[in-house]
Structure formats: structure tokens, C-alpha cells
């Protein structure tokens, strides 16, 4: 069913999402084992029961990405796209010249150049099949989406407040995904993004300024309703 061009979930899809969440919680309850039972300072200061509950909730939070966010995103994306697949294999090959170009882009960003994803993809496309082809460990993306017009979208799902110090690595990963995908699909219209499931600052806007300088905020970042 669709409303104003957007497809809405049927009952089967809703039940599928509910089952995903139920199974995640059930598996966590059945298989949870704390990393450490010996926390003498914390237990004496806060209480053993409180620490046990805190440890469980923290462990559950870390599993949300692969156990809940990815399968739910896959189901929701399948409503409006021709193909949606979690843990999609992008490939295992990248050209040496593409790696060199990515490093050049990273160097430029480090010294203060503004990120421009459209330009960066064009630069990588020019060299994506040139030079020595280097083998990598199989590279997977959290979510692969293909639209009706053939556009390909690669998503890296992150926690609501990623560590700012890691954004340089995130940027390199997004560029490498482009280069790897273009090896076998050099003419593809492909895009890559950091996706953050919800805005922890709601109702205030997401603090996008923390990412400015490394990510092209308009073309590489999707938060909450985006």
C-alpha cells in the first residue's frame, strides 16, 4: 500500500519487525554472560544488583546495531526500494591507484579542504580500475539499498554518538566502499553514508558541527528522520 508515493508496512512486515525485536531480547536474556564478575570497587559503591543490571543493558545496547537496527532497516528499506540487503558483500578488490587517490583526498581534508562527496566519487571513478588490483578481506556494508532508478546506496550504521576521533576512519571507509564497488561496476551511480538511527539531542537538532570538516554533511550523513 502507498500514500503520496511512499509505501507503508503491511501486517506481515510489522510482525516481522516485532519478531526481530523479541528474538533479540530473548537471545540476550538466554545467552548473556558478563565480561567480568569481579568488580569490587563498583559493587561496594553502587551495589552488585545495580551493576549487574547496568552491565546487561550496556551489553544489549552494543547488540542493537546488528540484532535490531540492521534487520529493521532492511525491512523498512524494502518497502520503497527494489533491493535492500543487510551485511551485503561489496567485494574484496581495490585498485592501487584508487587507494592512492583516497589517501590524497584524506590528506586534503586533514589540512582543511572542505569535503565534497560528488567530486570525491568522480576522482575515485577515474582510477577505480587502473593499476595493480589489490586483494582485501571481504568487505561488507551494514545495509545495501538499490533504488528503482538504479542508484546504489551503501550505509554504515553507527551508534547515536559516535566517537569524534573515529570520523577520519569512517570517512576513509566510505571512500573505500565506493572504490571497491566501482571495480566491478565502474559506471554505477553509487553513494555511501554514515547512518545514525535516532537523534539523541531531540528536540534539538543533531550536533552536525562535530562532523564538519571530514564528512560532506549533505551527502554522507543521515540522522533519524533523514
- The tens digit of pLDDT for each residue in 188-211 reads 999 999 998 888 888 888 877 667
pLDDT tens digits, one per residue of 88-111 = 999 999 999 999 999 999 999 999
Is pLDDT of 33 > 90? no
Selection from 112, 90, 118 nearest residue 176 by Cα? 90
Q: Average the pLDDT over each of 36-40, 79-83, 123-127, 169-173 and give the range with the smallest value.
A: 36-40
Is pLDDT of 11 > 90? no
- Neighbouring CB atoms inside 10 A of 105's CB total 20
Query: In the predicted model, what is the mean pLDDT of residues 74-81?
Result: 88
Selection from 121, 226, 221 nearest residue 181 by Cα? 121
Q: Grid cell 565506493 — which residue?
A: 178
Domains of the chain, each with CATH number or no CATH = 2-77 (no CATH), 83-223 (3.40.1560)
More confident residue, 28 or 176: 176
Using DSSP's 3-state secondary structure scheme, residue 193 falls into strand
Selection from 165, 164, 158, 170 nearest residue 196 by Cα? 158
What is the pLDDT, as a whole number, of residue 4?
Answer: 44
Intra-chain end-to-end CA distance of the chain, in Å: 22
Amino acid at each position: 500500500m502507498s500514500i503520496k508515493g511512499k509505501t507503508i508496512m503491511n501486517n506481515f512486515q510489522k510482525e516481522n519487525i516485532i519478531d526481530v525485536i523479541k528474538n533479540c531480547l530473548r537471545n540476550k536474556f538466554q545467552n548473556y554472560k558478563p565480561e567480568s564478575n569481579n568488580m569490587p570497587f563498583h559493587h561496594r559503591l553502587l551495589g552488585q544488583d545495580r551493576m549487574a543490571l547496568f552491565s546487561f543493558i550496556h551489553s544489549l545496547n552494543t547488540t542493537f546495531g546488528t540484532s535490531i537496527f540492521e534487520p529493521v532497516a532492511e525491512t523498512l528499506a524494502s518497502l520503497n526500494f527494489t533491493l535492500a540487503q543487510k551485511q551485503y558483500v561489496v567485494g574484496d578488490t581495490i585498485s592501487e591507484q584508487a587507494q592512492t587517490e583516497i589517501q590524497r583526498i584524506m590528506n586534503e581534508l586533514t589540512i582543511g579542504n572542505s569535503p565534497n562527496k560528488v567530486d570525491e566519487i568522480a576522482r575515485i571513478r577515474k582510477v577505480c580500475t587502473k593499476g595493480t588490483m589489490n586483494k582485501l578481506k571481504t568487505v561488507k556494508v551494514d545495509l545495501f539499498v538499490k533504488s528503482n532508478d538504479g542508484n546504489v546506496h551503501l550505509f554504515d550504521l553507527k551508534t547515536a554518538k559516535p566517537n569524534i576521533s573515529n570520523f577520519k576512519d569512517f570517512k576513509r571507509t566510505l571512500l573505500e566502499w565506493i572504490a571497491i564497488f566501482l571495480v566491478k561496476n565502474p559506471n554505477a551511480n553509487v553513494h555511501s553514508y554514515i547512518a545514525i538511527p535516532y537523534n539523541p539531542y531531540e528536540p534539538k537538532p543533531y550536533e552536525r558541527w562535530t562532523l564538519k570538516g571530514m564528512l560532506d554533511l549533505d551527502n554522507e550523513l543521515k540522522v533519524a528522520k533523514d
